[in-house]
Chains A and B, each alone.
Chain A
Amino acid sequence: MKMLTKIALVLIPTITLSTAALSHDPEMHKMANEKADCKNMDHSKMDMKDPVAMAMMKKCMQQSEKTEIKVDHSKMDHSKMSAEKSKVKKDDSHSSHNH
């Protein structure tokens, strides 16, 4: 039994490490970027009549709309938020210990 444990202790890390050594750059198997990188879009160089430019604009606008929906401030209860904030401030102002 002890022998088996020893063999397992040697073999498992060896096999795991050798598999990693055989495989290539894991970057190549990454899924597509989840979001369009619209920050680097240079509007001045774009021909707005070109379908590629139009498609890119549409994609970035859709993405920005979705982000705004995700952070929809109109649905937030600001009264509760300010209460939370003041509570935090109050908690923060206690002097029972050093910060």
Chain B
Amino acid sequence: MKIIKLFIAVILLIISAISAVMYSGIVNVAADEPHTDLVYWLLETTREKSIEVAAQNIDVPDLSDPELLLTGGMDYEFMCSSCHLKPGRNQSDMSLGLYPSPPNLTIKAEEHDGHKHRDSTQTDRKNFWVIKHGIKASGMPAWGKTHDEQRIWAMVAFLKRLPTLTPEQYQILTALD
């Protein structure tokens, strides 16, 4: 009986502590104030694991058709480049202002800081899932609500080649028809 009472007391204490933190307003939600290393690691690890598990059974189609680069390129220019940048540009309002900072997709995945990258197929799955579903509280929208899967795969195909493109190649591939 004593153990049950102690357990209930601990639970009430935890709920009280969480409520005190929530309602006191001491948590700084400003995007220009970074998380502590511990909080960042917790959120980052949770996010990466969640995406990895959710995307593991996605079948990756053939992404070598040049037509995909044209469709995906135009969509990338209008939907993604302001945050994830384009060849020849190192920063933008969005890349500087958003927190967590959106990854620079013009550099190779291995060069990104902070998290590990898996093989190419796993990266394609992950990119597809993230573009389709978005990520909560990160600024990444769920493009699957307005774009069909074929268009999202075209963006994935474009992302595979983006780090290898020169500014001139990028301009041609992403220009309007």
Give the B-binding residues of A (Cβ under 8 A): 24, 28, 32-38, 40-41, 51-52, 54-56, 58-60, 62-63, 66
* CB interface residues, B 69-115, toward A, < 8 Å: 69-70, 73-74, 77-78, 92-93
Q: Which A residues touch B175, using CB under 8 A?
A: 32-37, 59, 63
Q: Which B residues touch A36, using CB under 8 A?
A: 171-173, 175
Q: How many A-B residue pairs have CB under 8 A?
A: 62
Picked from A28, A34, A51, A59, the residue with its CB within 8 Å of the CB of B172 is: A59
* CB interface residues, B 145-177, toward A, < 8 Å: 161, 164-165, 168-169, 171-177
Are A35 and B176 in contact (CB-based, < 8 A)? yes
Q: Which B residues touch A63, using CB under 8 A?
A: 175, 177
Q: Which A residues touch B168, using CB under 8 A?
A: 37, 40-41
> What is the minimal beta-carbon distance from B62 to any residue of chain A, in angstroms?
11
Known A33-B176, A36-B172, A56-B172; 10 more pairs at CB < 8 Å: A32-B176, A34-B176, A36-B171, A37-B175, A52-B69, A52-B161, A52-B173, A55-B70, A58-B67, A59-B70
Docked complex Cα distance between A59 and B168 (Å): 13
Which applies to chain A's interface (DSSP): helix, strand, loop or mixed?
helix
Q: Which A residues touch B65, using CB under 8 A?
A: 51
Q: Which A residues touch B67, using CB under 8 A?
A: 55, 58
Are B93 and A28 in contact (CB-based, < 8 A)? yes
Docked complex Cα distance between A60 and B171 (Å): 11
**Is B66 interfacial (CB 8 A cutoff)?**
yes
Give the A-binding residues of B (Cβ under 8 A): 64-67, 69-70, 73-74, 77-78, 92-93, 161, 164-165, 168-169, 171-177
Are B93 and A56 in contact (CB-based, < 8 A)? no
Residue ID in chain B nearest A37 by CB atoms = B171
> What is the minimal beta-carbon distance from B138 to any residue of chain A, in angstroms?
22
Docked complex Cα distance between A33 and B171 (Å): 8
Docked complex Cα distance between A52 and B164 (Å): 10
> What is the minimal beta-carbon distance from B29 to any residue of chain A, in angstroms?
24
Are A54 and B66 in contact (CB-based, < 8 A)? yes
Most buried by A among B64, B66, B161: B66
Are A32 and B78 in contact (CB-based, < 8 A)? yes
Are B165 and A58 in contact (CB-based, < 8 A)? no
Are B172 and A60 in contact (CB-based, < 8 A)? yes
Given contacts A28-B93, A32-B78, A33-B171, contact A51 B69 (CB under 8 A): yes
